Amino acid sequence: MSKGIVYLVGAGPGDYKLITVKGLECIEKADVIVYDRLADERLLAYAKADVELIYVGKAASDHTMCQEEINRLLVTKGQQGKTVVRLKGGDPFVFGRGGEEALELFTAGVPFEVVPGITSAVAVPAYAGIPVTHRGIAASFTVVTGHEDHDKSKSSICWDKLALGADTLVFLMGVENLPKITAKLITNGRSSDTPAGIISWGTKPEQEVLVTTLGQAAEDAARQSVKPPAIFIVGEVVTLRDKLAWFDNKLLSGKTVLVTRARQQASLLTAALEAMGARCIEAPAIRIVPPDSYICLDEAVTNLSLYDWLIFTSVNGVEYFFARLHVVGGDSRALAGVKVAAIGIQTAAKLREFGVIADVVPAEFRAEGIIRALEDKIRPGMRVLIPRAGVARDVLPEKLAELGAVVEVVEAYRTAVGEADGQVIGEQLAAGKIDLVTFTSSSTVTNMLTLLGHDAVKFLSKAMVAAIGPITAETCLNNGIHPNIIAEEFTIAGLVKAIGDFYIPGRG
């Protein structure tokens, strides 16, 4: 059997978008990914469908797998001829024990490569508005482990030289040893008045920054219950945060948002909200699933020439329609001679991916709007096909029938209750840990009520509620939920804008 190869990949400091291009390429081709708790799991979405995922996360005093076992695992998988990615938070060679893993692979004769990652030692202070060097303030910096057992008889850290040997000191993972670290530095000559900062969950939406002094750091961290992962930075550069803080000054910084869209569609909304500084919890209230039978849809796509109009009400309808069209041996050419309407610019954009430009995209992105856009185009006797969800509002087919059209509605897909954990969400809402709940359809509202159970309305009253448009808002109101935000443009972009406008300082 040919030998495989192991890539020791740095996942970066926390924000999954800080992965390197080469690191992402390795993830995409991996047969096996061995990952730890500081590597954002969203990176795993780039892996192959049949990839083997092995979690070996290690937290203080809680090791899923010890380092020696991880070393043996990498060797074994490499010897099996696998392409292996060892995905590590930060950089593999900066207190990541990547050197130990590489030596084990070398000894076993397994080929390996190191893919450096952006180290938290530099990136986390940068996200907190603290440069580790700055002209006229700091010309040097030192990165130190915060994990060392300071009670052992002989320290590997030369505290007498370290305390005054660099302008900026950065301790990684040192929160639990903070009293000992600060005492050692002060004892060896560093002033207790030296500015210091503690940054937890750096580069992620839940990032928190505590500005203090060397003398007060341990007491302040204990008072505010700072937990790892966190870094401790000491030096005059900390004072620059007053002017250079940028990440935690975003519009939604400090806000936790519940995203209830189907998992495969949540990423767009999540990404937009995270760009505004929000921490997003994806809790899919709906799942998009195939219909019980494709018989009606297949018959319709096989006989498209019989229809005058084809109306798509969602992106999902487009995707399922064309999937079945391809199954029966057709493609977009089968729509020749058929007029196409799309409710929503996102639906129209999805059609363009299949080479179809909608003839009508109403200015108002709901059924009532498309009726106004079509009323001078639909003539009595015209046949209209609407591939859509199994359960949906009847307004559109009813109004089209009033115009004299012969309307055929076929089930292209179904929506089912999502896999979100209603009990956990309810507890978070009750505890005030969620600031905003987003609803992107009536289904997300009704299904979330099902997931939350009999106290659903009470739980949801603890947070702000944002609805993608008036139909979704009406569903909220009909169920005793009062939306605080209603998007004027019934799209994800419109919802994000409405949320941003609501939280403009002085409003939300």
* Dist. CA 169–CA 163, nearest whole Å: 8
Catalytic residue among 36, 91, 167, 435, which? 36
- Which of 77, 82, 173, 382 is labelled catalytic? 173
First to last CA, the chain: 62
Considering the candidates 3, 31, 58, 276, report the single residue annotated as catalytic: 58
* φ, ψ dihedrals at 252, nearest 5°: -105, 15
Closest alpha carbon to 289 in 266, 322, 319: 319
Dist CA 288 CA 240 (whole Å): 49
Tokens standing for 442? Answer: 């009536």
Is 65 catalytic? The answer is no
421 as an active site residue: the answer is no
Parallel, antiparallel, or unpaired for β 195-200 and 208-213? antiparallel
Nearest CA to 236 out of 137, 162, 122 is that of: 137
Task: Please answer whether residues 72 and 101 qualify as being in contact, where contact means their C-beta atoms are separated by less than 8 angstroms.
Answer: no
Report the C-alpha gap between 492 and 83 in whole angstroms: 38
Is 58 designated active site?
A: yes
Question: Tokens for 24?
Answer: 């992402």
Q: How many CB atoms lie within 10 A of CB 347?
A: 22
Letter for the amino acid at 59? A
Q: Are 13 and 202 in contact (CB under 8 A)?
A: yes
Q: Is 254 left (phi over 0), alpha (psi -120 to 50) or beta?
A: left
Residues labelled as active-site residues: 36, 58, 173
